[in-house]
Amino acid sequence: MAACRFPTCRIGDVAIPRLILGHLPFVGESYQGQSRNLEYVARFSDIGNTVKIIKIAVEKFGITVVSAGSMGDGSELEHLLLRAITEAGRETGIKIGIIPCVQIPLAVLGRPVDTYRRWLTYYWIELGACKDLARRYLEDPILQCRAGWKEKFEEALKNLKPYGAEEIKSLQVDFEKLDIALQALKGLEVLFVELGSECDFLAMAGRTDILGEVVDHVLEEFDGVLLGTHHAGSAIPILERSEIEFEGYVTPVNRLGVMMFTTAEEALNSIRKSKKPVIAIKPLAGGRIEPRSAFRYVYEEAGMSFSMVGVGSEKEAEENFSTVAEIVGRHPAQTIP
Q: Does a structural domain hold residue 212?
A: yes
Give CA 74 to chain center in angstroms.
19
Listed in sequence order, the residues at least 6 apart from 265 whose beta carbon sits closer than 8 Å to its beta carbon are none
Classify residue 1: in a domain, yes or no: no
Note the pLDDT of residue 131.
86
**Residue 45 included in any domain:** yes
Q: Judge whether 129 lies within some domain.
A: no
Domain count, the chain: 1
Distance (Å, rounded) from C-alpha 21 to C-alpha 98?
9
3-state secondary structure of 64: coil
Q: Element (H or E) spanning 33, and its range?
A: none
Tens-place pLDDT, residues 55-86:
999 999 999 999 999 876 668 999 999 999 99
Establish whether the linkage from the previous residue to 262 is cis, with ω within 30° of 0. yes
The 10 Å CB-count burial string (b at 16+, else e) for 130-150 is: beebeebbeebebbbbeeebe
pLDDT of residue 3: 74
Comparing C-alpha atoms, which of 277, 193, 192 is closest to residue 236? 277
Domain with 216, as residue range(s), is 14-105+174-330
Q: What is the CATH number of the domain that holds 281?
A: 3.20.20.100
Residue 52, pLDDT score: 98
254 inside domain: yes
Binned average pLDDT, 10 residues per bin, the chain of 337 residues: 84 95 97 96 98 97 94 83 97 96 96 96 94 95 96 97 97 96 94 97 98 98 97 98 98 98 97 97 98 98 97 97 92 50
Whether 307 is in a domain gets the answer yes
In a domain, 143, yes or no: no
The per-residue pLDDT for 71 is: 74
Answer yes or no: is 214 within a domain.
yes
CA 207 to CA 194: how far, in whole Å?
18
Task: Classify residue 223 as exposed, middle or buried by CB count within 10 Å of its CB (0-12, 13-18, 19+).
Answer: middle
